Structure 1
Amino acid sequence: MRREREDLAPDAVDARLGARLVELRAERGWSLGELAERSGVSRSTLSRAERAEVSPTAALLNRLCQVYGRTMSQLLSEVESAPALVLRAAEQSVWEDRASGFVRRSVSPPHAGLRGELVEGRLTAGADIAYDRPPVPGLEQHIWVLAGALEITAQDVRHRLDTGDCLRLRVWGATRFRCPGPENVRYVLAVVLP
């Protein structure tokens, strides 16, 4: 949902997400400068994301989630409507980071208090996303490849997953998701809070 032109009105999800980011920072009494120091993201980038002038990348949201102690799904669920027990496919929130070739579908019904969640991820061939830290240290992840191939590096160990393979790990540090191609990859990510 990244906007190419700055003169376009903010996307509704980006606007709600920006407002929630402002609330989270205000709840802690932090200035933009303090948040920049804690997250390693520039003040200008944070300001533009809070004002919904840009659609945040997956890497930026990951850094903010780490600072605020939330998973990405928790943060995104906080900008959605009231929680539901069943979430129909047509109603599932889809977020796209076109710059990195990453599409993320929140499969689980959103709820701020959830401990486990399912996410569908898609990466285009050649896409490479690096996260410098997990949103929550010790986060448990199960990555099940539905189609294509996925390389995941965690704790300096690279794992290659092909269709049908599943990797379980706890995330303590940097991770990298890469689609070696030649096809795109589609996978399920099950996330469990520690």
Structure 2
Amino acid sequence: MTTARDDARPAIALLVGERVRSLRTGRRWSLDELAGRSGVSKGMLVQIEAGRTNPSIGTLVRIADAFGVTVARLVEEARPPEVQITGPDDYSVLWEGPSGGRATLFAGVDDPEFVEFWEWVLEPGEEHVSEDHSVGTREIAHVVAGTMTLVVGDLELRVATGRTAVYPGDVPHRYRNDGDTAARVHMVVTMPPGEFDRRTRR
């Protein structure tokens, strides 16, 4: 399993643990309730709330969906609600590929709409598999450099430099680099407001 950078792991793990515990207790949910809603095991949630593990993007998405918040809400430091300018020290690298690729969360907005802004860098041969997000989630991916292979359900498309793909994020999807050079992608994720209980899909 690939995770965030080793040097960022302790700070991110502690912050995520505090946020998850605060959101859960604020709703008066037990760990069992959050586990049921998110599909993340109770044991993993215990580890996360204690700050003893750095969860994968997939796990963060499941937890954020259950609470009805963005991933950014779980990993970013609190900041003023109006105008804000961020830089590299504020960004969260939440995935690293085996060849040096990475997924960086630049920023997120929780109110009134849920929006996240990401940069993905996929080195040749790298792939990231994403589960389905909450119902109604959409993604917009603009390829800045290289070519990204996008798989959405049974549909596979090659998205070249300068092209933009708009597709549903509430079905399983994946990003892959089948080329010889790095693919750099700017991505916007939009989600409907509200909590999402994965048990309703069973």
Change (3 A) 1:129 1:86: same
**1:114 CA displacement:** 5.4
Q: CA RMSD in A?
A: 2.7
Mapped contact 1:139–1:172 kept (Cα < 8 A) = yes
Mapped contact 1:59–1:129 kept (Cα < 8 A) = no
- Note the alpha carbon deviations across 1:64-108, whole angstroms, 9 max, x for none: 12222223234334x433345242433441323236665333334
Matched residue, 1:43: 42
Mapped contact 1:63–1:133 kept (Cα < 8 A) = no
Residues 1:22 and 2:4 aligned together: no
Change (3 A) 1:179 1:71: farther
Residues 1:147 and 2:145 aligned together: yes
Q: Which moved more, 1:15-24 or 1:168-177?
A: 168-177
What letter is aligned with 2:15?
R
> Hey, what's the Cα distance between the residues in 2 that align with 1:98 and 1:133?
20
Matched residue, 1:31: 30
> Hey, what's the Cα distance between the residues in 1 that align with 2:86 and 2:170?
33
| Higher relative contact order (Cα pairs below 8 Å, separated by 6+ residues) | 2
Q: What TM-score results when the alignment is normalised by the length of structure 1?
A: 0.80
Mapped contact 1:2–1:55 kept (Cα < 8 A) = no
Mapped contact 1:83–1:111 kept (Cα < 8 A) = no
Number of equivalenced pairs: 187
Q: SS of 1:183's equivalent?
A: coil
Q: SS of 2:168's equivalent?
A: strand
Q: Report sequence identity in percent.
A: 25
Return the match for 1:182 from 157, 180, 183: 180
What letter is aligned with 2:93?
W
> Hey, what's the Cα distance between the residues in 1 that align with 2:97 and 2:87?
25
**Correspondence list, 1:58-137, <5 A:** 58-77=57-76, 79-83=77-81, 85-98=83-96, 103-108=102-107, 110-113=108-111, 115=113, 116-134=115-133, 136-137=134-135
Matched residue, 1:138: 136
Mapped contact 2:144–2:184 kept (Cα < 8 A) = yes
**1:38 CA displacement:** 2.5
Q: Which runs of 5+ in 2 are unaligned?
A: 193-202
Q: Which moved more, 1:32-41 or 1:62-71?
A: 32-41
Q: Which moved more, 1:119-128 or 1:58-67?
A: 119-128
> Hey, what's the Cα distance between the residues in 2 that align with 1:102 and 1:75?
22
